[in-house]
Amino acid sequence: MRKRNNASKTSISHTSRNAVSRFTRALALAALSFALVTGLLSPSLAEAFKRTEVGETAKDFTLPALDGEKVTLMKSLGPKATLVAFWAAWSPRSLPMLTDMQTFLGEHEKDGLKVLAVNVEHQSWSPEDEPKIREAVKAASATYTVLLDKDFAVYNDYGVVVVPSLALLDKDGKIVSITNGYSSTGKDALKEEVLKALGLVKAEEKVAKKDEDGYKANPLAVRHLMMAEKFLDKKMYSKAESAAKDAIGKDGEYALAYKVLSEALKKQGKEEESAAAVKKFDELETKYKAAAPAEPKTEEQKDAKPADGKGSGTSMSPADKGKSPA
């Protein structure tokens, strides 16, 4: 009798462990699904599109807009670049993305940017979805075209996994970048890609050359540094540090990045790291000032005669250097 009880207890114990194991696996799968949908996984763990890759021409499609008009992708490309954004009203990250897309468009529509927002609300369309979609569009103050992928045809054709996600196309419809999940890092990277696609990098290259004597910084490093400076102004010192380090990661010779980094570190009480950044800034500044071409002489300087009266083409001998003129 005692043996049967022990066996029974053992069986119950195994059953309990199996139940706990199944429950744990179910939780893990649920967490993974949630991460995929909301874009919490990093790009290395969850790709934005399963059937679409950077470098290929985007798959053409025709979808109805919110106003009822039929819109075809390849007939609606921007003069220089087009952002195709997949989103849903139920997605927490979609509204910030829609709002940012409106900001992008306001800043760069004149430069040739266009935005198409493809709603992927539910696989089975319901009339109840439309009011929610319109509410989200209104909240974002969106003026760009919003398309309805009611049967998920485009969603499946592109292999969208994470909502929201974006594809940036050039003027010919070629995909130049994909943004997965729209995290803050993804947003910053997207801004860089948009500026590149619009051909606005050259202007920043000129700014970088003016910033440093004799040195032209990597344009991506310049953009990261601009962000770092904005974070400093807002007293967001940790983010300023991160952005400055991103700038240095793009261009380790960019002296101004070390200067901003030192300020961000100092504000956080990281004195030793700040001092090291200042030292690096001084080294690079000295290096590039020494390498900078000498400024051209004025006409007065060209005509001026040295103190010995031998004319402007005569220089002092090495032995005479450092001596005061008689």
**Tens digit of pLDDT for each residue in 58-67?**
999 999 999 9
Q: Report the pLDDT value the prediction gives residue 269, as an integer from 0 to 100.
A: 92
Share of the chain above pLDDT 70, in %: 69
pLDDT, tens digit (0-9, with 9 covering 90-100), for 135-151: 999 999 999 999 999 99
Element (H, E) at 192: helix 184-197
Which segments of the chain are extended strands (E)? 62-64, 70-72, 81-87, 113-119, 145-148, 165-170, 175-180
The structural domains of the chain, with segments of one domain joined by +, span 62-190, 203-291
Residue with tokens 């300023």: 240
Query: To which H or E segment does residue 233 belong?
Result: helix 219-233
Mean pLDDT throughout 15-26?
53
| Residue whose entry in the numeric block shows the structure tokens 């649920």 | 30
- In this prediction, residues 293-310 reach a mean pLDDT of 49
Question: In this structure, which amino acid lies at residue 233?
Answer: D
Residue type (1 letter), 111? D
Evaluate if residue 43 carries a pLDDT over 80: no
pLDDT reading at 291 higher than 80: no
The values of phi and psi at residue 218, to 5°, are -60, 130
Phi and psi at residue 86, to the nearest 5°: -95, 130
Mean pLDDT is lowest, of 64-78, 84-98, 178-192, 285-299, for 285-299
Q: Which residues contact 150 (CB under 8 A, 6 or more apart)?
A: 64, 125
Q: Please tell me the predicted confidence (pLDDT) of residue 310.
A: 44
Longest dimension (CA), the chain: 125
pLDDT confidence bin for 38, thresholds 50/70/90: very low
pLDDT band of 312, cuts 50, 70, 90? very low
Q: How confident is the model at residue 90 (pLDDT cuts 50, 70, 90)?
A: very high
Q: Compute φ and ψ for 50, nearest 5 degrees.
A: -90, -25
Q: How far apart are the first and last CA of the chain?
A: 123
Both structure tokens of 291 = 């390498």
| Homologous superfamily, domain 62-190 | Glutaredoxin (3.40.30.10)
Report the C-alpha dihedral over residues 240, 242, 247, 253, rounded to 10 degrees: 100
List of E strands, 236-312: none
Measured CA to CA, the distance from residue 247 to residue 262 in angstroms comes to 13
> Quick one: how far is CA 143 from the chain centroid?
23
The dihedral built from the CA positions of residue 77, 81, 86 and 89, taken in this order, carries a sign that is: negative
What average pLDDT does this structure show over 98-110?
95
Q: List the one residue out of 153, 150, 134 whose CA is nearest residue 142.
A: 134
Torsion of CA 185, 189, 194, 196, to 10 degrees: 160
Q: How far apart are CA 217 and CA 224, in angstroms?
A: 11
List Cβ neighbours of 175 (8 Å cut-off, separation of 6 or more): 52, 53, 54, 55, 56, 57, 58, 167, 168, 169
Stretch 106-127: mean pLDDT, rounded? 94
- Among the listed ranges 52-56, 93-97, 144-148, which one has the minimum average pLDDT value? 52-56
Backbone angles phi, psi at 101, to 5 degrees: -65, -35
> Tell me, what's the pLDDT at 83?
97
User: Which one is the CATH code of 203-291: 1.20.1260.10, 1.20.1740.10, 1.25.40.10, 1.10.357.10?
Assistant: 1.25.40.10
Of the listed ranges 174-183, 260-269, 312-321, the least confidently predicted one is: 312-321
Q: Give the pLDDT mean for 117-123.
A: 93
Q: 54 or 289: whose pLDDT is higher?
A: 54
Q: What is the number of other CB atoms lying within 10 angstroms of the CB of residue 133?
A: 18
pLDDT of 111: 95
More confident residue, 322 or 234: 234
Q: What's the mean per-residue pLDDT of the chain?
A: 77
Instruction: Specify the pLDDT at position 97.
Output: 95
- Residue with the bigger pLDDT between 2 and 282: it is 282
Q: Residue 53: what are its φ and ψ, rounded to 5°? A: -130, 155
